[in-house]
Amino acid sequence: MSKEFGIIALIVIISATLVGGTVDIFRKRVAGTWGAAPASHDVVKNYQEAVEVISDEYAGDVDYEKATQAAIQGMLSTLDPHSIFFPPAEFRKLEEDKDSHLTGIGVTILRHRDGVYVQSAVQGTPAARAGLRYGDRIIEVDGKDARDWSSEQVSKNVRGERGESVTIKIERAGVPGPLTFTIVRESVPLPSIRNAYMIRPGTGYIGLTGGFQQTTGDELREAMTKLKAQGMRQVVLDLRGNPGGLLNQAIEVASEFLQRGQPIVSIRGRVEHKEPYIYRSTGTEPEDFPLVVLINHNSASASEIVAGAFQDLGRALIVGQTSFGKGLVQGIFELDYGAGLTLTTARYYTPYGRSLQRDYSSGSLYDYYVKRDEEDEETPPAHTTHAPAQKAIDPALSTPTPTPVPTPTPAGPPVTTAAGRVFYGGGGITPDIEVKPLQVTPLRARIAEAAFFFTRQLAAGQIQGLESYRIEKTDYDHNLRSTDYPITDKVVQAFRDFVQRDGNLGITSAQIDEELDFVKLRIRDEMVTAAYASDAGARVLLDSDPQIIRAIDALPEAKRLADSTRNNASQG
């Protein structure tokens, strides 16, 4: 279990944090010169001579493009973990992510024990119109056998050029033979905010978990307007698993809650540019709601900028776990022939001068991204709906949460912030209130897997006596109620019988009794996802999320902190 999560985390976290926190997407043609310094000429000469020797003497064929890409990446890897080379195809994906869209069919997928399955189709996308639905097992993509593929492999093959078609063959529960769909790819929205709803009377929840992209600020304002119309008087802003993104969007998000002119973040670049550049709030009528911000180990870069500004200025309480610790600024440079690279050009600092960057001096990507995650285990954040499987939306968008670690020894000098609180730099944002998420165990992982396979049959009307749970199509516009799809004793008994028949699940009746609440939670999550799509299913888990519950409890304290800070500022 831990090894599987480690591999998934390495793949997804690296891809997310490499580009999180760019000052903005900008393009520069890199000139074909290495400068005038003699040392640079020596480097070029040595490289050219090495290429000539390889060309003349190597016994096999040489892929010069691959060799050159490796050379560039090797050079960048000596700098820091976030300076990265992108071949043309990967660079195009980088641009798609920045634009809050991708080109594909719009389907959420998960890898389970025997293949990749559809979790839900995104509303209004080609996949939804074609009729793909919860529980469809993807067995072929464009004639290629996909039964042993990972989620990432399926995503890579499903994505393609806009207007081109992809043919997908699936197995559907209750249908005797395979079904084939030919779907034309379109631009699919890639929102930053995946969920925004009233989690309690008067309390809004905004899940800003999808990165900081071109539309993030607009999405936040739209969500706030909607929730205020429903009576929101306080809000929980969820940044868990958010890998970062565009700095200007982080400024817009922070400006929604900070007074105009308040500092948000400073950037310090090359040594010849000694004066830091300070980004300040542009808010004209900022919201004064009590605010709690949720973070975890996968909250990085732009997420840390927002959380750090709120914490330094006393605007919000931070709840959860210490954030990733990415305080390096990347510029994105386009090279000739469509390739590109991200290059660290500066560092971020919070309003009171804390560095966000975690130490990377070991030089090991494994140590930097994964090693700290192997000491314990936990569930993904509530918006990542399925713990034991890899989730993707053309391709993987959710980020499996690394495991918790002990509070790190402060790496930077102490900084006294608003209201006299002391924090340390050099290791991400330490929460005001540390709360671990629901613990995952091997048993709970097996239960979650079993709940999926059981619900696949239940939603297809294949469980005798529970035909009323059959779902014909996804109702995207349904307003979820607590009474929707209750997990009754009859459903639990059916689950017991299902698990007993399937010997591969490794769950006993006694273990179901031991984890009965968790069993009911996972089955209802799956049923609501099948009926109303992934965002609705995520709400089921959010309502039982220990970090969310603690965040709601902390809202009165967040109000007192903000009021105290505001009063001290006015007196000063």
Q: Provide φ and ψ at 436, rounded to 5°.
A: -85, 150
Active site residue 326: yes
Residue 242, phi then psi, degrees to nearest 5: -85, 115
DSSP, collapsed to helix, strand or coil, labels residue 471 as coil
Name the catalytic one among 301, 303, 323, 398: 301
Beta carbons of 342 and 83 less than 8 angstroms apart: yes
Q: Which of 97, 136, 238, 312 is catalytic?
A: 312
**How deeply is 131 buried, as exposed, middle or buried, from its count of CB atoms within 10 A (0-12, 13-18, 19+)?**
middle
Per DSSP, the three-state class of 354 is coil
Q: Which residues, including other chains, have CB under 8 Å from residue 473's CB and lie 6 or more apart?
A: 133
3-state secondary structure of 481: coil
Kindly report the CA angle at 195 between 190 and 196, in degrees rounded to 5? 125
- Out of 326, 355, 520, 525, which one is annotated catalytic? 326
Distance, CA of 76 to CA of 83 (rounded, Å):
6
Query: What gap in Å lies between CA 116 and CA 318, rounded to an integer?
Result: 36
Evaluate whether 444 touches 375 at the Cβ level (below 8 Å). Answer: no
Q: Write the CA distances from 460 to 81, 290, 448, 473, integer angstroms.
A: 46, 44, 18, 10
Could you give the maximum distance between any two Cα atoms of the chain, in Å?
Answer: 81
Rounded CA separation 533/132 (Å): 12
Collapsing DSSP states into helix, strand and coil, what is residue 294?
strand
563 backbone φψ class: left, alpha, beta (φ>0; ψ -120 to 50): alpha
Q: Bridge partners of 200?
A: 203
Can you list the pairs that 282-287 forms with residues at least 24 positions away whose Cβ atoms lie under 8 Å?
Answer: 282/251, 282/252, 282/255, 283/255, 283/256, 283/257, 283/258, 283/259, 284/260, 286/255, 286/256, 286/257, 286/258, 286/259, 286/260, 287/224, 287/235, 287/256, 287/257
Question: Is 2 labeled as catalytic in the residue annotation?
Answer: no
What distance in Å separates the CA atoms of residue 243 and residue 324, rounded to the nearest whole number? 9
Which of 276, 259, 258 minimizes the C-alpha distance to 267?
276
Beta bridge partners of 193: 208
CA distance 13 to 10: 5
Give the phi and the psi of residue 414 in degrees, each rounded to 5.
Answer: -70, 145
What CA–CA distance (Å, rounded) separates 151 from 392? 7
Q: In the annotation, is 66 catalytic?
A: no
Helical pair 38-57 and 64-77, crossing angle rounded to 10 deg? 140
The C-alpha atoms of residue 386 and residue 525 are separated, in whole angstroms, by 9
Active site residues: 301, 312, 326
